[in-house]
Protein backbone atom coordinates (compact mmCIF):
# COMPACT_ATOMS: atom_id res chain seq x y z
CA UNK A 1 0.00 0.00 0.00
CA UNK A 2 1.47 3.35 -1.03
CA UNK A 3 2.20 6.17 1.34
CA UNK A 4 0.08 8.76 -0.47
CA UNK A 5 -2.92 6.66 -1.55
CA UNK A 6 -4.99 4.06 0.22
CA UNK A 7 -6.24 1.29 -2.05
CA UNK A 8 -9.87 0.30 -1.61
CA UNK A 9 -11.71 -2.38 -3.51
CA UNK A 10 -14.86 -1.86 -5.55
CA UNK A 11 -17.84 -4.10 -5.94
CA UNK A 12 -21.03 -4.51 -7.93
CA UNK A 13 -24.47 -4.27 -6.34
CA UNK A 14 -27.57 -6.00 -7.71
CA UNK A 15 -30.96 -5.11 -6.21
CA UNK A 16 -33.56 -7.47 -7.60
CA UNK A 17 -37.32 -6.91 -7.24
CA UNK A 18 -37.17 -5.75 -3.61
CA UNK A 19 -40.47 -5.34 -1.77
CA UNK A 20 -40.65 -4.27 1.86
CA UNK A 21 -43.80 -4.24 3.98
CA UNK A 22 -44.22 -3.23 7.62
CA UNK A 23 -46.97 -3.83 10.14
CA UNK A 24 -48.51 -0.59 11.41
CA UNK A 25 -49.79 0.04 14.93
CA UNK A 26 -53.35 -0.24 13.62
CA UNK A 27 -52.60 -3.69 12.27
CA UNK A 28 -52.49 -2.68 8.61
CA UNK A 29 -49.63 -3.45 6.23
CA UNK A 30 -47.62 -0.54 4.82
CA UNK A 31 -45.59 -1.06 1.67
CA UNK A 32 -42.33 0.92 1.96
CA UNK A 33 -40.77 -0.51 -1.22
CA UNK A 34 -42.62 -1.93 -4.20
CA UNK A 35 -40.68 -4.22 -6.57
CA UNK A 36 -37.51 -2.09 -6.75
CA UNK A 37 -34.73 -3.29 -9.07
CA UNK A 38 -31.41 -1.52 -9.54
CA UNK A 39 -27.82 -2.34 -10.53
CA UNK A 40 -24.80 -0.32 -9.39
CA UNK A 41 -21.65 -0.88 -11.45
CA UNK A 42 -18.07 -1.16 -10.21
CA UNK A 43 -16.79 2.24 -9.13
CA UNK A 44 -20.12 3.96 -9.78
CA UNK A 45 -21.74 6.44 -7.37
CA UNK A 46 -25.52 6.15 -7.50
CA UNK A 47 -27.49 8.72 -5.53
CA UNK A 48 -31.04 7.91 -4.44
CA UNK A 49 -33.27 10.94 -3.90
CA UNK A 50 -36.83 11.35 -2.76
CA UNK A 51 -39.05 13.01 -0.24
CA UNK A 52 -39.18 11.94 3.42
CA UNK A 53 -40.93 8.61 3.76
CA UNK A 54 -40.42 7.55 0.13
CA UNK A 55 -38.45 4.42 1.07
CA UNK A 56 -34.89 5.44 0.18
CA UNK A 57 -33.39 4.83 3.64
CA UNK A 58 -35.30 1.55 3.92
CA UNK A 59 -33.62 0.46 0.69
CA UNK A 60 -30.19 1.44 2.04
CA UNK A 61 -30.83 -0.48 5.27
CA UNK A 62 -31.70 -3.58 3.23
CA UNK A 63 -28.47 -3.24 1.23
CA UNK A 64 -26.56 -2.76 4.49
CA UNK A 65 -28.07 -6.01 5.78
CA UNK A 66 -29.72 -4.27 8.72
CA UNK A 67 -33.22 -5.41 7.71
CA UNK A 68 -34.50 -8.21 5.48
CA UNK A 69 -36.92 -7.48 2.64
CA UNK A 70 -40.35 -9.03 2.47
CA UNK A 71 -39.53 -10.21 -1.03
CA UNK A 72 -36.69 -9.96 -3.55
CA UNK A 73 -32.94 -10.12 -3.04
CA UNK A 74 -29.73 -8.07 -2.92
CA UNK A 75 -26.34 -9.35 -4.04
CA UNK A 76 -22.85 -7.90 -3.86
CA UNK A 77 -20.47 -9.47 -6.37
CA UNK A 78 -22.95 -12.31 -6.78
CA UNK A 79 -23.13 -13.05 -3.05
CA UNK A 80 -26.49 -12.78 -1.33
CA UNK A 81 -26.70 -10.06 1.34
CA UNK A 82 -28.08 -11.72 4.46
CA UNK A 83 -26.83 -9.46 7.23
CA UNK A 84 -24.30 -6.76 8.16
CA UNK A 85 -20.77 -7.20 6.86
CA UNK A 86 -17.46 -5.36 6.72
CA UNK A 87 -17.78 -5.59 2.94
CA UNK A 88 -20.43 -2.86 3.21
CA UNK A 89 -19.31 0.22 5.09
CA UNK A 90 -22.03 2.63 6.23
CA UNK A 91 -21.65 6.36 6.90
CA UNK A 92 -24.76 7.29 8.89
CA UNK A 93 -26.33 10.71 9.32
CA UNK A 94 -25.56 10.72 13.05
CA UNK A 95 -21.97 10.74 14.31
CA UNK A 96 -20.64 7.21 14.75
CA UNK A 97 -17.30 7.81 16.45
CA UNK A 98 -16.04 6.96 19.93
CA UNK A 99 -15.94 10.15 21.98
CA UNK A 100 -13.57 8.72 24.59
CA UNK A 101 -10.99 7.76 21.99
CA UNK A 102 -8.67 10.18 20.21
CA UNK A 103 -8.97 10.62 16.46
CA UNK A 104 -6.11 8.25 15.69
CA UNK A 105 -7.42 5.71 18.20
CA UNK A 106 -10.79 5.69 16.43
CA UNK A 107 -9.12 4.76 13.16
CA UNK A 108 -6.90 2.25 14.97
CA UNK A 109 -10.03 0.56 16.35
CA UNK A 110 -11.49 0.23 12.85
CA UNK A 111 -8.24 -1.26 11.56
CA UNK A 112 -8.09 -3.66 14.52
CA UNK A 113 -11.63 -4.86 13.77
CA UNK A 114 -10.49 -5.47 10.21
CA UNK A 115 -7.75 -7.79 11.45
CA UNK A 116 -4.83 -5.50 10.59
CA UNK A 117 -1.77 -6.42 12.69
CA UNK A 118 -0.70 -3.87 15.29
CA UNK A 119 2.70 -3.51 13.60
CA UNK A 120 1.01 -2.17 10.44
CA UNK A 121 -1.68 0.01 11.99
CA UNK A 122 0.41 3.05 12.93
CA UNK A 123 1.36 3.81 9.33
CA UNK A 124 -2.17 3.12 8.09
CA UNK A 125 -3.69 5.47 10.67
CA UNK A 126 -1.64 8.32 9.21
CA UNK A 127 -2.60 7.35 5.66
CA UNK A 128 -6.33 7.26 6.34
CA UNK A 129 -6.25 10.52 8.29
CA UNK A 130 -4.29 12.12 5.44
CA UNK A 131 -6.94 10.85 3.02
CA UNK A 132 -9.61 12.91 4.83
CA UNK A 133 -7.32 15.85 5.72
CA UNK A 134 -7.21 15.07 9.44
CA UNK A 135 -3.57 14.09 9.83
CA UNK A 136 -2.89 17.15 12.05
CA UNK A 137 -5.66 16.13 14.45
CA UNK A 138 -4.57 12.58 15.27
CA UNK A 139 -4.28 13.26 19.00
CA UNK A 140 -7.47 15.33 19.36
CA UNK A 141 -10.69 14.03 20.88
CA UNK A 142 -13.85 14.10 18.71
CA UNK A 143 -15.42 16.74 20.97
CA UNK A 144 -12.58 19.07 19.97
CA UNK A 145 -13.49 18.75 16.29
CA UNK A 146 -16.14 20.53 14.25
CA UNK A 147 -19.14 18.61 12.94
CA UNK A 148 -17.58 18.42 9.49
CA UNK A 149 -14.31 17.09 10.87
CA UNK A 150 -16.12 14.41 12.87
CA UNK A 151 -17.85 13.36 9.66
CA UNK A 152 -14.45 13.11 7.95
CA UNK A 153 -13.28 10.92 10.82
CA UNK A 154 -16.32 8.69 10.38
CA UNK A 155 -15.52 8.32 6.67
CA UNK A 156 -11.91 7.44 7.50
CA UNK A 157 -13.07 4.74 9.93
CA UNK A 158 -15.39 3.22 7.35
CA UNK A 159 -12.71 3.24 4.65
CA UNK A 160 -10.22 1.68 7.06
CA UNK A 161 -12.37 -1.45 6.99
CA UNK A 162 -11.62 -1.76 3.25
CA UNK A 163 -15.27 -2.14 2.17
CA UNK A 164 -16.27 -3.23 -1.30
CA UNK A 165 -19.36 -1.02 -1.14
CA UNK A 166 -19.74 2.37 0.55
CA UNK A 167 -23.22 3.26 1.82
CA UNK A 168 -23.96 6.88 2.77
CA UNK A 169 -27.29 7.66 4.43
CA UNK A 170 -27.87 11.44 4.23
CA UNK A 171 -24.37 11.76 5.75
CA UNK A 172 -24.22 15.56 5.71
CA UNK A 173 -27.85 16.25 6.62
CA UNK A 174 -27.28 17.85 10.08
CA UNK A 175 -24.49 20.16 8.90
CA UNK A 176 -24.68 23.79 7.80
CA UNK A 177 -24.86 24.46 4.06
CA UNK A 178 -21.26 25.60 3.61
CA UNK A 179 -19.89 22.57 5.48
CA UNK A 180 -22.13 20.24 3.47
CA UNK A 181 -20.78 21.64 0.20
CA UNK A 182 -17.21 21.37 1.49
CA UNK A 183 -17.72 17.70 2.36
CA UNK A 184 -19.32 16.98 -0.99
CA UNK A 185 -16.11 18.28 -2.57
CA UNK A 186 -14.15 16.05 -0.17
CA UNK A 187 -16.13 12.99 -1.28
CA UNK A 188 -15.32 13.88 -4.89
CA UNK A 189 -11.61 14.18 -4.06
CA UNK A 190 -11.49 10.94 -2.07
CA UNK A 191 -13.31 8.94 -4.72
CA UNK A 192 -11.06 10.27 -7.48
CA UNK A 193 -8.11 8.83 -5.53
CA UNK A 194 -9.95 5.64 -4.56
CA UNK A 195 -12.83 4.75 -6.89
CA UNK A 196 -15.28 2.87 -4.69
CA UNK A 197 -18.76 1.66 -5.55
CA UNK A 198 -21.05 3.99 -3.60
CA UNK A 199 -24.77 4.05 -2.77
CA UNK A 200 -25.62 7.56 -1.58
CA UNK A 201 -29.03 8.45 -0.11
CA UNK A 202 -30.03 12.11 0.09
CA UNK A 203 -33.07 14.38 -0.10
CA UNK A 204 -30.91 17.21 -1.48
CA UNK A 205 -31.12 17.39 -5.29
CA UNK A 206 -28.09 19.69 -5.54
CA UNK A 207 -26.03 17.29 -3.47
CA UNK A 208 -27.12 14.37 -5.64
CA UNK A 209 -26.26 16.28 -8.81
CA UNK A 210 -22.79 17.13 -7.54
CA UNK A 211 -21.71 13.72 -6.23
CA UNK A 212 -23.47 11.21 -8.48
CA UNK A 213 -22.77 9.42 -11.72
CA UNK A 214 -26.43 8.44 -11.83
CA UNK A 215 -29.48 9.56 -9.87
CA UNK A 216 -32.48 7.40 -8.95
CA UNK A 217 -35.68 9.02 -7.68
CA UNK A 218 -38.04 7.03 -5.47
CA UNK A 219 -41.64 7.98 -4.71
CA UNK A 220 -44.02 5.85 -2.65
CA UNK A 221 -41.61 2.96 -2.72
CA UNK A 222 -41.16 2.87 -6.49
CA UNK A 223 -38.44 4.11 -8.84
CA UNK A 224 -40.04 6.92 -10.83
CA UNK A 225 -36.98 8.51 -12.47
CA UNK A 226 -33.45 7.56 -13.48
CA UNK A 227 -31.03 10.20 -14.69
CA UNK A 228 -27.41 10.00 -15.80
CA UNK A 229 -25.25 12.95 -14.66
CA UNK A 230 -23.17 13.89 -17.70
CA UNK A 231 -20.90 16.34 -15.88
CA UNK A 232 -17.26 15.40 -16.28
CA UNK A 233 -14.99 14.75 -13.35
CA UNK A 234 -13.22 16.11 -11.48
CA UNK A 235 -16.00 18.42 -10.35
CA UNK A 236 -14.71 21.55 -8.62
CA UNK A 237 -17.10 23.57 -6.49
CA UNK A 238 -17.54 26.02 -9.39
CA UNK A 239 -19.46 23.36 -11.34
CA UNK A 240 -22.48 24.40 -9.26
CA UNK A 241 -22.64 27.61 -11.29
CA UNK A 242 -22.84 25.90 -14.68
CA UNK A 243 -25.99 25.57 -16.83
CA UNK A 244 -25.52 21.77 -16.91
CA UNK A 245 -25.63 21.56 -13.12
CA UNK A 246 -28.70 23.76 -12.79
CA UNK A 247 -30.51 21.93 -15.58
CA UNK A 248 -30.23 18.63 -13.69
CA UNK A 249 -30.94 19.92 -10.19
CA UNK A 250 -33.85 22.07 -11.39
CA UNK A 251 -35.34 19.13 -13.27
CA UNK A 252 -35.12 16.93 -10.18
CA UNK A 253 -36.70 19.59 -7.96
CA UNK A 254 -39.47 20.10 -10.50
CA UNK A 255 -40.13 16.36 -10.58
CA UNK A 256 -40.34 16.21 -6.77
CA UNK A 257 -42.77 19.12 -6.71
CA UNK A 258 -44.82 17.51 -9.45
CA UNK A 259 -45.01 14.27 -7.53
CA UNK A 260 -46.06 16.10 -4.39
CA UNK A 261 -48.70 18.01 -6.35
CA UNK A 262 -47.15 21.35 -5.40
CA UNK A 263 -47.34 23.87 -8.21
CA UNK A 264 -44.45 26.27 -8.59
CA UNK A 265 -45.38 29.92 -8.94
CA UNK A 266 -44.14 31.77 -12.01
Residue 118 lies in a domain: yes
Residue 2: the pLDDT is 35
Is residue 155 domain-shared with residue 172, that is, in the same domain? no
Q: Give the pLDDT confidence score for residue 53 in this predicted structure.
A: 85
Do residue 176 and residue 83 come from a single domain?
yes
For the segment 81-87, the average pLDDT, to the nearest whole number, is 91
Please check whether residues 3 and 70 belong to one and the same domain. Answer: yes
| b/e code 240-258 from CB counts within 10 Å (16+ = b) | eeeeebeebbeebeebbee
Domain holding 205, by residue range, is: 1-87+166-261
- Residue 13, pLDDT > 90, answer yes
254 lies in some domain:
yes
Confidence of residue 262 (pLDDT cuts 50, 70, 90): low
Does a structural domain hold residue 111?
Answer: yes
pLDDT band at 200 (very low <50, low <70, confident <90, very high): very high
- Measured N-to-C along each axis, helices 147-160 and 177-193 cross at an angle, to the nearest 10 degrees, of 20
223 bridge partner residues = 218
- The structural domain count of the chain equals 2
Verify that 158 and 173 share a domain, yes or no: no
* CA-based nearest residue to 203, from 19, 57, 18: 57
At 4 the pLDDT is 42
Position 194 scores a pLDDT of 83
**pTM for this entry:** 0.89
Q: 25 falls in which pLDDT band (50, 70, 90)?
A: confident
Percent of the chain with pLDDT over 90: 75
Is the pLDDT at 9 greater than 70? The verdict is no
Based on the fold, state whether residues 170 and 64 are members of the same structural domain.
yes
Which residues, 6 or more positions from 31, have their beta carbon under 8 angstroms from its beta carbon? 19, 20, 21, 221
Note whether residue 92 is domain-resident: no
Per-residue pLDDT averaged across 182-187, rounded? 92
Domain check: are 229 and 127 in the same one?
no
User: Same domain, yes or no, for 54 and 114?
Assistant: no
Residues 110, 72 share a domain: no
Q: In DSSP terms, which residues pair with 222 in a beta bridge?
A: 219
Amino acid sequence: MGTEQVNVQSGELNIDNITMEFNTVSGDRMKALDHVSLNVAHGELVAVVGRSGCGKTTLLNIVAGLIKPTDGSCRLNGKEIEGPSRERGVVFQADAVFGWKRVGENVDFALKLGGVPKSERKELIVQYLRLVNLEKFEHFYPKELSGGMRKRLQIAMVLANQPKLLLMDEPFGPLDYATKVELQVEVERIRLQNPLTTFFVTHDVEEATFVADRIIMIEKGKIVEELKVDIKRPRPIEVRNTPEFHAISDYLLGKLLELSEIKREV
